[in-house]
A and B are shown apart, each in its own frame.
Chain A
Amino acid sequence: MITAILIGVVAGLLSGLLGVGGGALFVPALVLVLGLSQIEAQATSLLAIVPVALVGAWRQHRYGNMRLREGVLIGVVAAPSAALGVVVVNALPEHLVQIAFACLLMWIAWSLARGALRELRGGRAPTESLSP
C-alpha cells in the first residue's frame, strides 16, 4: 500500500515537473514495482489518470490555458475510439502489447532528450510538450 502511494507521488511529481503524461509513468511502475500484468497495469493506469487530469484541468482553467469546447469535442469523439482500442488490446497477445508500450516509452524518452538538449544549447524551453 505504501509502495502504491509512493508510486503515485513520484509519478505525479515527475509528471508536473517534466510535462510527461501520468500514464507513461503509471504503467511501467505498476508492472515493474507492483507486479501487475501489462494489461492490468494499463487498465489501472487509465482509472488513476482520471483524478490527475481533473486536477490538472482545473488548474489550467484557472490560469486561462484551456479551450473547453475544443477539449470536450476531442474527448467525445475519442470515447468510442478509446473503447475500440480497449477491445483490440484485449485481443492481442500480452507480450506484444508490452513490447509496443516499451517502444512508446523509447519515443517519449527520445523527444524529452531532444527538447532538453535544445534547451541546454540555449533555445527556448519547450514547455510541457506532453500531458497525461
Chain B
Amino acid sequence: MPRRRLLELTAIGLAAGLFSGLFGVGGGVVIVPLLVLWLAFGDREATGTSLVAIVIIALVAAIAQAGYGNVRVGDALLVGLPATGGVIGGTWLQQRIPAAGVRLLFALFLAVTAVLLVVRAL
C-alpha cells in the first residue's frame, strides 16, 4: 500500500475512533465522507468498507465503556438484535420507495430530537 494512502487511512481511523468513543456512534459519519473525499471511494464502497471498521471500533469502545460499568447489556441486545432485521427491511424498502421525502421528514424529526436532548440537559 502506498505511503500516502496508509497515512490517509490512519488519519481517518484516528478521527473515527475518537468520534465513536466520544459520541457512542460507529464513526461512519467520519469514515464515509473522508473515504469518498480523500481516497475517491464510491458511496456504496465507502459504506461497505466503513461497516468493517465500525464492527471493530464499536466493539472496542463498548468494552472500554463496560470497564466503567456504563453498558446495559440486556438493553443493547434487545435493541441491537431486532435492529439487524430492521436494517435488512429498510435496505429492501430503499430500493422501492422515493426516499427524498422520507429523508426530509426524518431530518426534521432529528432536529426536534436534538432540541429535546438540549432541553433535558439544561
Interface positions of A (Cβ within 8 A of B): 1, 4-5, 7-24, 26-32, 34, 36, 38-57, 59-61, 63, 65-90, 94-106, 108-110, 112-113, 115-117, 119-120, 125-132
Contacts and interface: CB of A to CB of B under 8 A. Distances in A.
Nearest to B92: A16
Contacts of B106: 14, 18, 20, 112
B49 A52 contact: no
Given A53-B54, A95-B121, A43 B24 contact: yes
B103 interface: yes
A132 B51 contact: yes
Interface in B51-104: 51-62, 64-66, 68, 70-73, 75-94, 99-104
The DSSP consensus for interface residues of chain A is helix
Contacts of B9: 70, 73-74, 77
B46 to A, nearest CB: 8
Contacts, number: 422
A20 B60 CA distance: 21
B83 A131 contact: no
Contacts of A56: 51, 87
24 contacts: A8-B82, A9-B86, A17-B102, A18-B99, A19-B47, A26-B79, A39-B65, A46-B20, A49-B80, A63-B44, A66-B45, A69-B1, A70-B49, A73-B9, A81-B13, A81-B14, A83-B61, A85-B18, A86-B21, A87-B64, A104-B25, A113-B107, A119-B103, A125-B99
Contacts of A46: 20, 24, 58, 61-62, 65, 71
A1 B21 CA distance: 26
A89 B22 contact: yes
Given A8-B78, A8-B81, A98 B117 contact: yes
Nearest to B67: A86
Given A39-B70, A105-B114, A84 B17 contact: yes
A71 to B, nearest CB: 3
Nearest to B82: A8
A130 B88 CA distance: 16
